[in-house]
Copies of this chain bind each other. A is one copy, B any other.
Amino acid sequence: MGNSLGKKFVITSFGESHGKCVGIVVDGCPAGLAITEKDIQGELDKRRPGNSIASTKRAEGDIVEIQSGVFNDYTTGAPICMMIWNKDIDTVSYKQTRELPRPGHADFTAFVKYGGFNDWGGGGRFSGRNTAGFVMAGAIAHKLLGLIGVKVLAHTVEIGGIQADSYEMISEDIINSNPLRCTDLQDAKKMLAAIEKARREGDSLGGIIEGIGFNLPAGLGEPIFDTMEGDLAKALFAIPAVKGVEFGVGFGAAKMKGSENNDAFRVKRGKIVTETNNSGGILGGISNGMPLVIRIAVKPTPSISMKQKTVNIHTMKNEELGILGRHDVCIVPRAVPVVTAMMAVTLCDFALQAGIIPEVIK
């Protein structure tokens, strides 16, 4: 269970890393949205490994197929099933994970939960590859949000302790121009060097991604449980390796005084805005019309070639493990389009719930 997300824009994920395919069903997309496989492919290509020096050598020339819900290049209101077929599978190198769970991976917990029946090839159901489905759904959500002028972006703000200095102007072009998805090209170079160093050492790096929602209308969110923060966080924690989510100044708020943290209201060009945006665009779980700001902590890729301590789950003896296979040294850049996808999916759900995006696009 647990493979569906959303109330009105509902996504259902399926597939395994080394199974036949990875896919997603989107239910609740309004009828009348112009969409083609090309639109989906464009988003999907952003998370392609070949696009980033930090990433696995697996050649995923994934071509999306829309299997249902689109007719003559428009959505019909029916569920949209999208898939990519798995190729270039190298399961042999995963065979040892049947007995020796990889530290930091889900091998052990999946074994316990599913009684050993889980598909272990390439991490199976727990592989980052499943986020390809998230991105397909996100491509549709991005288009729907575009109809109401909402734009969702994300970028790398930290890798291996190296922070992107300043990002006054968030430029989608700059983000897409460099493999690190960073807004500061100088810092991107430093990050790249750190990644190269980690690769040589057989190690891996983590980092922080910032997601931003521009032009979001005030009034989205369904307190007190289906809050903007709550539903966004839940969606983002579905991305493997995410271990923290904060909004606005986030954990920094803990060190601030009320007089510093409170965002003063002001009238600007006939609209109520806040002078600062410490809240990250959310008050009481509801969007306030300021940019939505989220920061996501991504742990270092658990797959490292250095020797690690583990146990044999059958013999219950302590063992050592060196992970073979092809892996991303740092997953952060490839997670950037996944972050925007999950943000878009969640915001789209809220906008549909609030009736801001209509049931039929005309």
Which residues of A are at the interface with B, using a C-beta cutoff of 8 A?
1-5, 7-8, 10, 12-16, 19-21, 23, 25, 27-28, 31-32, 67-69, 71, 74-81, 83, 101, 103-106, 108-110, 112-115, 117-119, 124-126, 130, 158, 160-161, 198, 203-208, 218-219, 221-227, 229-231, 233-238, 240, 242-267, 270, 272, 274-275, 278-280, 282-289, 295, 297-304, 306, 308-311, 313, 316-318, 353-355, 358-362
Contacts and interface: CB of A to CB of B under 8 A. Distances in A.
B13 A225 contact: yes
A127 B223 CA distance: 11
15 contacts: A12-B25, A14-B78, A14-B80, A15-B81, A16-B68, A71-B119, A76-B125, A108-B265, A109-B287, A109-B288, A110-B284, A204-B259, A265-B311, A267-B311, A355-B358
A81 B23 contact: yes
A113 B32 CA distance: 11
Contact of A203 (B110, B205, B219, B258): B258
A344 to B, nearest CB: 15
A2 B253 contact: no
Contact of A208 (B14, B251, B303, B361): B251
B284 A106 contact: yes
A79 B310 contact: no
B233 A81 contact: no
B243 A244 contact: no
Contacts of A76: 16, 114, 117-119, 124-125
B13 A256 contact: no
Contacts of A222: 1-2
B253 A300 contact: yes
A264 B308 contact: yes
Nearest to A317: B267
Given A1-B10, A8-B1, A109-B284, A253 B244 contact: yes
Which of A105, A117, A302 has most chain B Cβ within 10 Å? A117
Nearest to A26: B14
A235 B246 contact: no
B106 A283 contact: yes
A77 B304 CA distance: 27
A13 B311 contact: no
A255 B332 CA distance: 12
A222 B245 CA distance: 19
Contacts of A68: 14-16, 19-21, 23
Contacts of A262: 103-104, 302, 304, 308
A292 B32 CA distance: 28
A36 B203 CA distance: 41
Contacts of A299: 253-254, 256, 261, 278
Given A4-B225, A204-B257, A208-B254, 18 more contacts: A1-B8, A1-B27, A1-B226, A2-B226, A2-B227, A4-B12, A5-B225, A14-B78, A16-B68, A23-B67, A71-B117, A103-B262, A237-B285, A243-B250, A251-B295, A261-B302, A266-B309, A267-B311
Nearest to A320: B264
Nearest to A12: B12
Given A117-B360, A244-B244, A288-B109, A264 B103 contact: yes
B243 A237 contact: no
A229 B242 contact: yes
